[in-house]
Every structure is written in structure tokens, then in C-alpha cells.
Amino acid sequence: PLSIGIVGLPNVGKSTLFTALTKKGGLAANYPFATIDPNVGIVDVPDERLGKLAEIVHPGRIVPATVEFVDIAGLVKGANEGEGLGNQFLANIRETDAICEVVRYFTDPNVMREVGRVGEFVDPAGDADTIMTELILADIQSLEKQLPRLEKDAKRDKELAVKADVARRLLDWLNEGNRAATMEMTDEERAEARGLFLLTMKPILYVANVDEDQLGEELAPIDGVTPIPICAKVEAELSELEPEEAAEYLADLGLEKSGLETLAQAAYRLLGLQSYFTAGEMEVKAWTVRIGAKAPEAAGVIHSDFERGFIKAEVASYGDYVALGGEAGCKNAGKLRIEGKDYVVQDGDVMHFRFNV
Ligand code: GDP
């Protein structure tokens, strides 16, 4: 599944949020917790459309999409200086598709901002800057380590010469205090740059850990990105409740969605992802696919054979499917479309693939 690394300064609420996200309710049923790393939580992506589809087809089970959250410890100011800690940190974060940075907005004076420093004001922009500096420094170190090798390889291979050139330019760019993702690159260069495994190439989303009464507020952007307000304390309480109680509690707070839902949806947007559905007697299931993906690529998410042998797809939009009571209703109303290999999949499409084996 999509994997997201949670980072942030100490005491900003990372563990509280991570624990809440991965509590029994959120934890995906298909992944027994005991078999995976305690710092990894695979959680279902809540999607109310699944329930609506299930009301129509009465499937044996509902299978939501999942997101993997990785609690990445060890990022403190100066982390890049401590070789051991730094390496472990890098190893954990390198594997993730995106970074979710928790930034402290909550004001509780009983929680120290940093060990030994009491009674300070919150400073979200400053904290985000500290973390970004650490990520940039880690990337600089990593590039300096990779460069001698890249330069050597560049002499014997044109493609590797492109990679070495991008690496050199990135090093300058990072040294000027920029993150890798913002450097101008051609598509080819960008592809090569991905092979350098830089942290600041990853999409980043900011979670503002706010006080309860800040929950509805629009926050000022950090580094050009609007942070997502979440209250880790509320999420922790929500994770202890039964679904109906949780819904009531959310309503009391004037909220429609839990933080997890908001976060998962924001991550999908950030990464340019969407869901399509399959609906049958056995299961109703959400599948994750790139926005802009065509039908065969979507089929390939289910199985590579489906992509290779793709013939056509029967497609109903989610809206039609629900309004017309399912596949038969769509067919009668002429809303069940037969689409070919150039069809661009839309969010919420209910799909059925025909393929050769
Ligand atoms: P981490 O070091 O980033 O993992 O931070 P923790 O999750 O351990 O939280 C540090 C302290 O802040 C704990 O005492 C939490 O109870 C407290 N805390 C976390 N989130 C919130 C919040 O939203 N509001 C308040 N008031 N306290 C919080």
C-alpha cells in the first residue's frame, strides 16, 4: 500500500497521532499487527462510498484501500550529525512514498516544546524550517557520498552521465537551502533524480496538531502548502470509541470526518491518486490508481495479467451506480459503458474488466 512516514520534532504529538491512527478501529483487518514492525501501522482508508455500494450488492465483505503509516523516530535537530541514529532514520524514511510532518500548534503549557525549554510560544513555521533543514542536510550528505561513484560511472555511460549531472546540480541547489523537488528538471532528469533516493524529492504534507477549538480554522500555509488541522488528543479519544459514539463525538465538535479520513484523503490528493471500485457478490473493494491512468493500468492494479490481456472494461460512474440501484439498473438505463484501452479512469468508477489469459 501507499506508505507515509510521520516525522516531526520531539513532543509535537507524533506518537499520540500514530497510536490513534493504528488503534484497533483503524487497523486494517487483513494485516495482523503482530507480524509487522511496531513502528508500522496499516490502516484502512475510510470511504463512505463503499458502504453505499454494499447496500446495493450485499457482498460477503467490504475491502477498503489501505495506507501504511510509519512512525519515524530519531529526527531531532542535529540528527544528521549522529551517524548511527541518522542512518536508521534514513533507512526508514527512504522507503516511504510521502512524508507527513506533524507540526505543533497546540498551546498546552504543560507539554514542553523541547526538553529543557519551558513556557515557549508555538512556532510552526520555525519548527517546519528546522525539520526541512535536517532533511536537506541529510540529502546533501547522501549526494556527497554518491557523487564520486556517479562521476566514475558517467565516463562510460551516457544515461549515467545524465544522472551524475543532475546529482551535481541538485547538490548546489540543496546547498543554497532548497529542497530537491523544487529544482527545474526535464522528465528524463527527474526520472534519474528519483534513483538518488533523496528525502526532499518526496511529496510532503503538513499536519497541524491543533488545540480542539482551532479545529475548524483555516491555517496559513507552510512552505506554500496549507497544513491539515488535526487534534491528536481528539483522535486518541475517537480511537477508543465505538463507531456510533465516534460519529456523535465528531458531530459535537462540528466535524464531518475524523483526522484519519482527512489525512488519508489529503495524501491521495497530494500524490495524485484516486479510487475506483469493483462490486460483486464476493466483495466490494476500493482500488488505488493514479489520476489520469487509463483502463488497462487500472486493471493492472488488480493483477498484471488483467493489464496484459486487457480487452475492455464495463464502467458505471459511482453516481449512476447508486442512483440506478446497481449494474442491472445502469444497463437498462444505458449507463453501463463499454470502454477500451484509452479510457481515462474517473474517481469512483465502478469497473468490471474483460481480459484474455
Ligand atoms: P512525540 O514526541 O512527537 O511523539 O509526541 P507525543 O505524542 O509523545 O506527545 C508529547 C506530549 O504532548 C504528550 O504528553 C501528549 O499527551 C501531548 N499531546 C500530544 N498531542 C496533543 C494535543 O493535541 N493537545 C495537547 N494538549 N497535548 C498533546
Q: What is the band of 255 on the pLDDT scale with cuts at 50, 70, 90?
A: confident
pLDDT for position 271:
85
Pocket test for ligand 1, best of 16, 77, 114 (most atoms within 8 A of CB): 16
Q: What is the band of 62 on the pLDDT scale with cuts at 50, 70, 90?
A: very high
**Which residue lies with its CA nearest to atom 7 of ligand 1?**
13
Ligand 1 in reach of 11 Cβ (< 6 A): yes
Phi-psi region at 197: left, alpha or beta (left = phi > 0; alpha = psi -120 to 50)? left
Pocket test for ligand 1, best of 6, 23, 111 (most atoms within 8 A of CB): 111
At 79, list the grid cell.
540528527
For the whole model, what pTM was predicted? 0.81
Closest approach atom of ligand 1 to CA 12: 3
Ligand 1 in reach of 19 Cβ (< 6 A): no
Least reliable range by pLDDT among 23-32, 86-95, 233-242, 304-313? 23-32
Ligand 1 in reach of 53 Cβ (< 6 A): no
Closest approach atom of ligand 1 to CA 17: 7
Whether the pLDDT of residue 36 is over 60: the answer is no
- How much is the CA Rg of the chain, to the nearest whole Å? 23
Least reliable range by pLDDT among 40-44, 171-175, 180-184, 267-271? 40-44
pLDDT digits (tens, 9 = 90+) for 39-54: 788 878 878 899 999 9
3-state secondary structure of 117: strand
Closest approach atom of ligand 1 to CA 16: 7
Which comes out higher in pLDDT, residue 258 or 311?
311
Name 105's Cβ contacts closer than 8 Å, sequence gap at least 6. 122, 124, 208, 209, 210, 211, 214, 219, 229
Whether the pLDDT of residue 306 is over 70: the answer is yes
Binding residues for ATP: 11-16
CA 13 – ligand 1 centroid, Å:
4
Ligand 1 in reach of 12 Cβ (< 6 A): yes
pLDDT for position 118:
53
3-state secondary structure of 63: strand
Name 1's Cβ contacts closer than 8 Å, sequence gap at least 6. 42, 65, 66, 67, 68, 288
pLDDT for position 33:
44
Question: In order of start, what are the domains of the chain with their CATH numbers?
Answer: 292-355 (3.10.20.30)
Tell whether the torsion through CA atoms of 281, 63, 243 and 246 is positive or negative.
Answer: negative
* Average model confidence (pLDDT) across the chain: 87
Of the candidates 150, 122, 100, the residue with the CA atom closest to the CA atom of residue 263: 100
Least reliable range by pLDDT among 29-38, 101-110, 111-120? 29-38
Q: What is the band of 148 on the pLDDT scale with cuts at 50, 70, 90?
A: very high
Q: What is the band of 99 on the pLDDT scale with cuts at 50, 70, 90?
A: very high
Ligand 1 in reach of 10 Cβ (< 6 A): yes
Ligand 1 in reach of 232 Cβ (< 6 A): yes
Helices (H), the chain: 14-22, 48-57, 83-94, 124-154, 158-175, 187-194, 232-238, 243-252, 259-270, 295-302, 304-308, 318-323, 327-332
Which comes out higher in pLDDT, residue 94 or 342?
342
